[in-house]
């Protein structure tokens, strides 16, 4: 086997240097310029082999040196890159840290503000609630109930409205209308104008229809508020002779008078103040052509004080509705 031409070694370099020196010794005289400087042999790059076995070949570079150079270059590049990346990361981290710090500060500030606001609202609400509670406790009081006590003697002559009710009238005509409809029982009566009597009293005419008989309602102002009250009523066709107005009565009671009505029929009812239903109801017969006398006796129980009224009415021959009425104010015995 010939020597390995592809690898460089110190022995091969020594042998080559010796070969070159020997060749130099054999250079013809007169041609010193062709002399080859041995030193140049080491400085110039190796020439490619000229072919053939055992020809000269340039030395091959040491792969370990090349690998070391590549490795060192790679390490330098990596260090530079890492340094650059480290600076960027440091900047980013600083920014992130600043951002985080700002965010944390802002969050803390927000939380503090929110907490402060919440505490303020809570304190305000608590203060308001406490203030309201205190105010309520302070201002709550029981107002005394004011009850107007009416003098019975002032209103004892009034048949309507009832003294114990809240009904009051500032207009005499409206008082007369209410008396005719709500107390006596007229159906859609025709109510006339107020006819002045003295400075505090007068009359209002009531008719069942335009051509019907007249029932005169007596109205009067009573009390300090000058409201209008009904004292009673009268009509030409019913005359009550017993009992008389404002009499003190007890059971049994005789009722007498004269009447002109359809078939001479007159209805009689005794009523007590504040009571819707009559204490007693009956009837009597007078004249159907001219006024004629009548007399009857009524009895009741359960009322021996207070006031009331004796109500006498006649009915329409056509439909039986109330035609006219005479109402007399009475006081029960012991009033």
pLDDT of residue 192: 98
SS (H, E, C) 162-200: CCCCCCCCCCHHHHHHHHHHHHHCCCCCEEEEEEECCCC
pLDDT for residue 258 is more than 70: yes
Strands 322-332 and 247-249, how do they pair?
Answer: parallel
pLDDT of residue 87: 54
Question: Which of 57-61, 92-96, 98-102, 296-300 holds the top average pLDDT?
Answer: 296-300
Q: 64-97: per-residue pLDDT in tens? A: 667 777 788 888 888 777 777 665 554 444 444 4
Give mean pLDDT, residues 293-321.
94
**Which residues are 195's β-sheet partners?**
203
Q: What angle do CA 138, 140, 141 make, to 5 degrees?
A: 115
Q: 98-125: per-residue pLDDT in tens? A: 444 334 444 444 444 434 444 443 444 4
Q: How confident is the model at residue 35 (pLDDT cuts 50, 70, 90)?
A: very low
Report the alpha-carbon distance of residue 105 to residue 128 in Å, rounded.
33
Give mean pLDDT, residues 237-255.
96
pLDDT of residue 218: 98
Q: Which residue has the higher pLDDT, 223 or 136?
A: 223
Report the alpha-carbon distance of residue 308 to residue 329 in Å, rounded.
6
Report percent pLDDT > 90 for the chain: 52
The mean pLDDT of the chain is 75
Ranges of beta strands (E only) in 82-213 are: 190-196, 201-207
CATH class of 159-332: mainly beta
Q: Quick check: helix, strand or coil at residue 262?
A: helix
Q: Phi and psi at residue 213, in whole multiples of 5°?
A: -70, 160
> What are the residue boundaries of the structural domains of the chain, listed by start?
10-60, 159-332
pLDDT for residue 24 is more than 80: no
Report the alpha-carbon distance of residue 167 to residue 145 in Å, rounded.
20
| DSSP class per residue in 63-79 | HHHHHHHHHHHHHHHHH
- Contact present, 154 and 223 (Cβ < 8 Å): yes
pLDDT of residue 79: 75
pLDDT of residue 297: 97
Residue 41: exposure state from Cβ atoms within 10 A (0-12, 13-18, ≥19): middle
Ranges of beta strands (E only) in 273-334 are: 280-285, 292-298, 307-315, 322-332
pLDDT of residue 152: 63
pLDDT of residue 69: 76
Q: Phi and psi at residue 79, in whole multiples of 5°?
A: -60, -45
pLDDT for residue 26 is more than 80: no
When mean pLDDT is compared across 28-42, 228-242, 267-281, the lowest value belongs to 28-42
pLDDT of residue 27: 44
Give mean pLDDT, residues 187-191.
98
Q: 226-240: per-residue pLDDT in tens? A: 999 999 999 999 999
Give mean pLDDT, residues 184-211.
97
pLDDT of residue 151: 65
pLDDT of residue 334: 59
pLDDT of residue 96: 44
**Quick one: tokens of 60?**
């091959």
Report the alpha-carbon distance of residue 231 to residue 176 in Å, rounded.
10
Give mean pLDDT, residues 195-199.
96
């Amino acid at each position: 086997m010939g020597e390995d031409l592809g690898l460089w070694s110190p022995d091969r370099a020594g042998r080559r240097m010796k070969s070159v020196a020997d060749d130099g010794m054999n250079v013809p005289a007169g041609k010193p310029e062709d002399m080859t400087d041995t030193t140049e042999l080491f400085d110039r790059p190796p020439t490619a082999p000229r072919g053939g076995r055992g020809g000269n070949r340039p030395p091959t570079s040491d792969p370990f040196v090349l690998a070391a150079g590549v490795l060192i270059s790679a390490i330098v590049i990596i260090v530079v890159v890492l340094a650059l990346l480290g600076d960027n990361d440091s900047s980013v981290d600083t920014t992130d840290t600043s951002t985080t710090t700002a965010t944390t500060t802002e969050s803390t500030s927000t939380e503090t503000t929110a907490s402060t606001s919440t505490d303020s609202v809570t304190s305000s609400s608590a203060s308001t609630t406490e203030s309201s509670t205190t105010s309520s406790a302070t201002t709550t009081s029981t107002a005394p109930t004011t009850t107007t006590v009416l003098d019975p003697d002032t209103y004892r002559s009034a048949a309507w409205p009832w003294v114990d009710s809240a009904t009051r009238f500032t207009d005499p005509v409206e008082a007369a209308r209410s008396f005719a409809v709500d107390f006596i029982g007229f159906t859609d009566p025709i109510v006339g104008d107020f006819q002045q009597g003295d400075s505090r009293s007068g009359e209002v005419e009531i008719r069942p229809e335009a051509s019907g008989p007249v029932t005169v309602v007596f109205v009067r102002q009573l009390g300090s508020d000058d409201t209008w009250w009904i004292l009673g009523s009268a009509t030409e066709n019913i005359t009550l002779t017993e009992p008389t107005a404002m009499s003190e009565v007890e059971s049994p009671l005789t009722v007498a008078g004269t009447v002109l009505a359809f078939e001479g029929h007159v209805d009689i009812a005794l009523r007590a103040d504040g009571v819707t239903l009559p204490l007693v109801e009956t009837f009597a017969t007078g004249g159907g052509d001219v006024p004629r006398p009548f007399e009857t006796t009524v009895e009741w129980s359960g009322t021996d004080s207070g006031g009331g009224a004796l109500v006498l009415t006649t009915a329409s021959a056509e439909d039986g509705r109330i035609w006219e009425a005479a109402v007399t104010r009475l006081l029960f015995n012991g009033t």
